[in-house]
Amino acid sequence: MASKEKVDPRFRYIGFEVHPGKAKPFWESEEERKRYEKRVTEQQEGVQPERAFSFIHVEMVSRADKFFLTLGNLILIVGLFLPWFKFTYGDSAVMFSGLGVLANLGFVGSLASWSGIAAQLEVVAVSALIVLAPLIGILNLVMLHRGKGVEDRYLRGVKNSSRLFFLLMLLWVFVLVLAAVGFAMPFGNLGIPRIGMESFNLLAFLTTASWGFYLTFAASWLNSTMALFL
């Protein structure tokens, strides 16, 4: 009896028995073959090809994020020159910009020293806000619009500078809490009817605050909210 011919096991894995017959075309279409050849050519020329969609090509800071952060930063910078507080003496009104408050810090600080620790802390906190708001705005603006270079380093710079907006919001909360606690006015209302005769409270603070104060607060809130999603 003739022995059965042995079959090389390799043949079982290259299509002779698993998929017998004529092999199917390797390319599904001529366009697919051309796309592959194009990628190979680009790779040979030093261009690293990627898939049609890749998260590598997704902007880490979107255009919308950059627009709103830039808007907020510009407001924080310009806010230094906008009116923060307004006081009425009889028929005349006096406004103090952020820079004007800093220029009269000695006078304001001397009045606060007669009103106790709460008034002194209020002056320090408001002064810190006026100084830090434009500085943080400038820093974040530079980080946003510098040359990207290495993408990870660019995003890290934007994130780190954006976290400083949380510090601004903490200062805002501290300022408003101190105003809500209130403090005595040892010299009465100093001729400023809005302050009241005996004490300075949250209502008096908010009514003496001007639109530059509120605009800077809004910009701080906007940028700190944007920083949460970076």
Asked whether residue 8 is domain-assigned, the answer is no
Residue 10 maps to a domain: no
Q: Give the pLDDT of residue 149.
A: 60
Which residue, among 43, 117, 86, has the nearest Cα to 193 in the 3D structure?
86
Inside any domain, residue 199? yes
Residue 54 lies in a domain: no
Domain of residue 147, residue span: 61-228
Question: Do 200 and 185 form a contact (C-beta atoms < 8 A)?
Answer: yes
Residue 44 falls inside a structural domain:
no
Helix (H, G, I), strand (E, B) or coil at 199: strand
Q: What is the pLDDT of residues 37-92, one digit of tens each?
A: 888 777 766 555 455 444 444 456 788 889 999 999 999 999 999 999 987 766 77
Whether residue 192 is contained in a domain is answered as: yes
- Whether the pTM exceeds 0.85: the reply is no
Specify whether the backbone of 219 is left (phi greater than 0), alpha (psi in -120 to 50) or beta.
alpha
85, β-bridge pairs = 96, 209
Q: What integer pLDDT is reported at residue 31 of this predicted model?
A: 84
Question: Closest Cα to residue 220, out of 168, 158, 161?
Answer: 168
Count structural domains, the chain.
1
Q: Are 165 and 223 in contact, with CB atoms under 8 Å apart?
A: yes
**Over the stretch 95-129, which tens digit does the pLDDT of each residue have?**
889 999 999 888 888 877 777 788 889 999 999 99
Q: Flag whether 34 is in a domain.
A: no
| Residue 209 included in any domain | yes
Looking at residue 92, the DSSP 8-state letter turns out to be: E
Helices 211-228 and 63-78: crossing angle, nearest 10°?
Answer: 150
State percent of the chain over pLDDT 90: 35
pLDDT band at 146 (very low <50, low <70, confident <90, very high): confident
